[in-house]
Amino acid sequence: MFKHPAKKLKWTSYIVSLLCVAGGAFYGYLRFRNKQTLIAAAVVAAALVLAWVLGLIVYGFGELIEKTKDNNYLLARVASHTKELESMKRN
């Protein structure tokens, strides 16, 4: 469950965003097919945009986790090579 959290977080945000947008669009279609008020339609449109933006934020957080993990791995490799070079200079 806790392996590869970045990938799981990114996929979850992608799926939830799609479901929110699809559900909101479907709700808007059902609710406003009788030409209801423009204000209510604007509220549904704003909710769709908000769901999309929040999905992007969560996806970006997953990307940040993934890149941080990659950077930590590379920094550990650089540190080990630096230690090897210092030990070779001493000998």
- Is pTM beyond 0.85? Reply is no
Question: What's the structural domain count of the chain?
Answer: 1
Q: What pLDDT does residue 71 have? A: 93
Per the listing, tokens 């890149």 go with 67
Residue 23 sits in which domain range? 5-90
Euclidean distance between CA atoms 48 and 20, whole angstroms: 7
pLDDT, tens only, 8-56: 888 888 888 788 778 777 777 777 666 656 677 777 778 888 888 888 8
pLDDT, tens only, 18-28: 887 787 777 77
At 91, list the tokens. 């000998």
Residue 1 has pLDDT above 70, yes or no: no
Q: What pLDDT does residue 68 have? A: 92
Could you tell me which of 57, 76, 69 has the C-alpha nearest to residue 13? 57
CB atoms within 10 A of CB 24: 19
Q: Are 55 and 3 in contact (CB under 8 A)?
A: no
Euclidean distance between CA atoms 16 and 83, whole angstroms: 46
